[in-house]
Each structure stands twice: as C-alpha cells, then as structure tokens.
C-alpha cells in the first residue's frame, strides 16, 4: 500500500512550507510549494530529489517573487501511483497543466538534474513566456554519456529491484551527490518521500526513462527539446558544480555551445547537489540574476 507522506516536526525549520495540491486530469494529485508574490519563478527538480532540494532558494526569493516548486508525480508529497507511465512527456504535460490551472503565462525558470529536460520541455513549447533561466547541473539534450552506477539501475530488472527494495538511488545520492557531508536532518529530508518499495517507484522509473539510443520511446521527445533549445532567447545563468559524478563538465560545455552568451560560474569543489555544496554563493547569484 502506498503511504501518504507528511512533514515531521523536526524538518519544519528546514522545510517550513505548506504545499498546495492540484488534482490532475489523470486523476492523480500533484503537490507544489507556492510562496510569495510578484514575478513567477518555477523551479523544476530531478531524480531522486523533490521540492526540498530548492528549500533555501525558496526562502531567498519569496520576499520578491511568487515561487512555485512542484513535486513530480511519484516524488515528494505528490501521489505515487503504481500503474502510471513515468515518462518525460507525461511530466512535461503535468507541469503545463499546473501552470494553466494557476493562470500563469510568463515565468522565470530554474532547473536541475532531469528537471532540465522537464523544465526545458515546458519552456520550448512557448519560449516567449520565459523571462530568465537558471541552469544547474543538468541536461536537456541527447547524449551517450552515463555513469556506470546509473546505467546499472537503468538497464536491468535487478537494478530496479535494488532501487525499490534498498533505496539504492536516493540513499547513495545523500553522499555521492555532495562534497560537503549533509547533516542527518537534511539527509532525512531527502529520503522522507522514498520510505518504501511502493514509494520508490518514480526513482526507478525516472532512470529507465533516460533515452540512450533512438529505439527508446523518449528519444524523440528529448531530441525535439534539444532542437528547440535555441528558440529560448531569454537571459540565462549557468551555475555548475565541477565535481558532479553524473552531470560532469562535459554537459556544462555542451550548454556553453548551445548558449554561448549565457552568464556562467563553475564551482571547483561542488558536486551534483550544488545547492547544498555552495548554498550561500549559489543562492546569492540566483537572487542577483533574477532581480536583475
């Protein structure tokens, strides 16, 4: 049985928000943080995180912006259906539906990890609606580079069994994705939504949805996003952890080729969870960039 997730008292200081929900047309409920007023900022997380990843950015921006941070289906406080098709196209569709329901047209965008593909999938549908974009250790294009550990989780039944039975994706990320050790309370925050075999379905299915060749059903969706990336003409900021085991500097260089005019800063001692390793510096840069 899928268990509902609630924020425990000891996490309230780190994650003091009261998320809202929307019932999507597919019948499932999506949770999202909606804080502050002003120009809209949409933050799109990847796998295996949730809106908790952006908690400090929300706190930084909510005095001047309306900050909206959804938990993808299967993640965070959202429903975790066992019979759902966890594909890139469906995640983009859910995000489009959320913005339509909230009546949002223009927005700033922040993306990380597989949230890059989802967020850029949203942005490239209507690029004129995007005011500014912040890109954090992510990709939104086809590529043949994948870490061995992730490939194991992706390409076998054994891999999915490991992820769902032993949390062999979200748990290793709490130490593999950072260079500065996380406190026990922050680790518990990242792991909170993924506390059972059923609740880990999305962390397994997200990995399987990474297309590595043209035979994969998501290849054409990602390729279409890749081809439309140049249509996004808004100002862009690239912030990158150089020690990322997953989205290495190879991916940073690809972004630089796509967006040669983008502002960019790299952090030599930061890993994949750049918002943890360089929290104060990155929050400052994001705030300065969006406030303009």
Domains of the chain: 9-291 (3.40.50.1820)
Q: Which of these, 169, 177, 166, lies nearest to 153 by C-alpha position?
A: 169
196 vs 156: which has the higher pLDDT: 196
**Given a cut of 70, is residue 97 above it in pLDDT?**
yes
pLDDT given for residue 118 in this prediction: 98
Mean pLDDT score, 190-203? 97
**Given a cut of 70, is residue 43 above it in pLDDT?**
yes
**Given a cut of 70, is residue 151 above it in pLDDT?**
no
pLDDT given for residue 144 in this prediction: 87
**What's the DSSP call for residue 48?**
S
Gap between the terminal Cα atoms of the chain? 47
Mean per-residue pLDDT over the chain, rounded: 95
Using a cut of 0.85, tell me whether the model's pTM lies above it. Answer: yes
Q: Which of these, 74, 68, 22, lies nearest to 48 by C-alpha position?
A: 74
The residues near 48 (Cβ < 8 Å, ≥ 6 apart) are 75, 169, 170, 173, 190, 194, 203, 206
- Label the pairing between strands 107-113 and 66-70: unpaired
Q: How far is CA 64 from CA 4, 37, 74, 132, 288, in A?
A: 32, 7, 30, 15, 12
pLDDT given for residue 14 in this prediction: 98
Distance in angstroms (rounded) separating the CA atoms of residues 74 and 181: 26
Residues across the chain: 292
**Given a cut of 60, is residue 1 above it in pLDDT?**
no
**Given a cut of 90, is residue 239 above it in pLDDT?**
yes
Confidence of residue 162 (pLDDT cuts 50, 70, 90): confident
Distance in angstroms (rounded) separating the CA atoms of residues 124 and 120: 6
Mean pLDDT score, 21-34? 98
- Tokens 């469906």, residue? 90
pLDDT given for residue 150 in this prediction: 66
């Amino acid at each position: 049985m899928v268990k509902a997730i609630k924020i425990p008292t000891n996490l309230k200081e780190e994650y003091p928000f009261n998320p809202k929900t929307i019932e999507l047309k597919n019948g499932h409920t999506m949770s999202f943080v909606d804080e502050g007023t002003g120009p809209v900022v949409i933050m799109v997380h990847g796998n295996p995180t949730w809106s908790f990843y952006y908690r400090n950015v929300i706190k930084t921006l909510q005095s001047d912006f309306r900050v909206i941070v959804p938990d993808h289906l299967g993640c965070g406080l959202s429903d975790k259906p066992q019979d759902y098709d966890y594909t890139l196209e469906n995640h983009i569709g859910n995000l489009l539906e959320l913005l339509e329901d909230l009546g949002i047209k223009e927005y700033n965008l922040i993306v990380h990890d597989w949230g890059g593909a989802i967020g850029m999938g949203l942005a490239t549908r209507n690029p004129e609606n995007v005011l500014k974009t912040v890109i954090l250790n992510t990709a939104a294009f086809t590529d043949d580079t994948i870490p061995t550990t992730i490939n194991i989780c992706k390409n076998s039944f054994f891999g999915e069994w490991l992820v769902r039975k032993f949390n062999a994706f979200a748990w290793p990320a709490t130490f593999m994705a950072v260079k500065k050790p996380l406190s026990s309370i922050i680790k518990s925050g990242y792991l909170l939504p993924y506390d059972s075999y059923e609740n880990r379905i999305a962390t397994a299915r997200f990995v399987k949805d990474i297309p590595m060749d043209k035979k994969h059903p998501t290849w054409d969706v990602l390729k279409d996003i890749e081809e439309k990336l140049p249509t996004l003409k808004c100002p862009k900021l690239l912030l990158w952890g150089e020690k990322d085991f997953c989205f290495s500097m190879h991916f940073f260089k690809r972004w630089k080729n796509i967006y040669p005019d983008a502002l960019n800063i790299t952090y030599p001692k930061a890993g994949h969870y750049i918002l943890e390793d360089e929290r104060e510096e990155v929050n400052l840069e994001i705030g300065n960039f969006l406030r303009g």
